[in-house]
Amino acid sequence: MINLRAQVWNTGFDDTFWDWALREFDGAAKWRSGCEGVVLHYGALGKPEAPESSVALLWELYPEMQRFIGPNYGPQVAALHEAASLCARRTVSSSLMVPEYIMHGPVDVLPIGVDTDLFRPRNKTSLRIKHKLTYERLGLWCGTNHPMKGHDLLTRYKVENPEVHILEVHKGQFQQPQLAEFMSACDFMVVTNRLRPWSMAEWEGMASGLELLDLADQEREFTDWSRKKVFELGWDRATAKETWMDYLC
């Protein structure tokens, strides 16, 4: 049995890495065979109970937040490093985070699965009629009011481009099927994420075939933000599951 020891902030919507982990690891019976003794350890919990059999999941981007905001996240960053130093293996979801933990040993970069069947290009015209989105040029923004999400950059963009309508979607506002339709109805996605690695929303935007307009002026892991790139990098749900199965078993 793969044990996922995590303090999960679950909004009831499948829009976070942790919702993906709970769905794929705990919800799929076939993941429960051949992986005896493996413990997936949520890095922010700090010290693992069974270090020799634990894989540290270092997905939380507290080091990124600390660089931007300051020492507020010191305890969380310390817990991540404690887990990284003690667990047998370490995983991150972006190569940009490897230097943060490499002093503790090898760091493996593994994908998180995007549902490319749900998030896909669709007929924009019919979706705009369905959702009464009668705009010539329509953009999408997904995020929260956390400073790292850069809502201030969106506000500035809207002031400077009053002719463009932006559909704002805040975390937990819609369930995934409706969010997927909204994405497919739009022409582009406004990215204001001040964290260097993509959040799940950006990956879903890529899978939906959206043009990504990045306003955050941050280093990114790659520059091809197409749907094709999602599959090339193995971030589609099926490939991600297979990659994790090979890695753990």
The model's pLDDT over 48-68, given as tens digits with 9 standing for 90+, comes to 888 998 899 898 888 888 888
CA end-to-end distance (rounded Å), the chain: 11
Greatest alpha-carbon pair distance for the chain in Å reads: 58
pLDDT at position 10, please? 38
Residues 6+ apart with CB under 8 A from 35: 1, 2, 245, 248, 249
Per the CB < 8 A criterion, the answer to whether 43 and 55 are in contact is no
Tell which residue, 47, 48, 44, has the closest CA to residue 3.
Answer: 48
Per the CB < 8 A criterion, the answer to whether 118 and 227 are in contact is no
pLDDT at position 20, please? 74
Task: Name residues of the chain where pLDDT drops below 50.
Answer: 1-15, 27-34
pLDDT 10s digits, 30-51:
344 346 677 888 888 899 888 9
DSSP 8-state assignment for residue 104: G
- The domain segmentation of the chain, as residue ranges, is 3-110, 124-232
CA-CA distance, 249 to 247, in Å (whole number)? 6
Tell which residue, 184, 186, 198, has the closest CA to residue 235.
Answer: 198
pLDDT at position 198, please? 87
Torsion of CA 32, 33, 38, 39, to 10 degrees: 10
Per the CB < 8 A criterion, the answer to whether 42 and 57 are in contact is yes
CATH topology of domain 124-232: Rossmann fold (3.40.50)
Cite the DSSP H helix spans in 96-141: 98-101, 124-130
pLDDT at position 12, please? 41
CA-CA distance, 109 to 90, in Å (whole number)? 9
